[in-house]
Amino acid sequence: METVVIVIHLILAVALVVTVLLQQSEGGALGIGGPSGFMTGRAAANALTRTTAILAAAFFVTSIILTILARQQVAQPSILDSVPEAVEE
């Protein structure tokens, strides 16, 4: 189960990076191509913004799931259990 969630998490991370880099910034950065093609202007910006938000939410959910799975595997005792008892003389 954990392996499946990790693979999904990694795919989401790569997809999130790609969608962020595809967005046209004010400085031009990696906004690939000019304003010609299938989707231009506001439609492309809205689609990329929506896709980024969905991927970010899914990344957040998989992060929480991985945290819960990791927490269930570790049975940490209380810190008070590891303190040596005082020896009375």
Contact between 15 and 7 (Cβ < 8 Å): no
Contact between 9 and 62 (Cβ < 8 Å): yes
Question: How many Å apart are CA 53 and CA 58, to the nearest integer?
Answer: 9
* H/E run at residue 5: helix 2-22
> Is the pTM value of this prediction over 0.75?
no
Q: How many CA atoms lie within 13 A of 43 on its CB side?
A: 6
- Give the residue, 85 or 5, on which the prediction is more confident: 5
Question: Tens digits of per-residue pLDDT, 6-52?
Answer: 999 999 999 999 999 988 765 554 555 555 555 556 666 788 889 99
Question: How many Å apart are CA 80 and CA 5, to the nearest integer?
Answer: 34
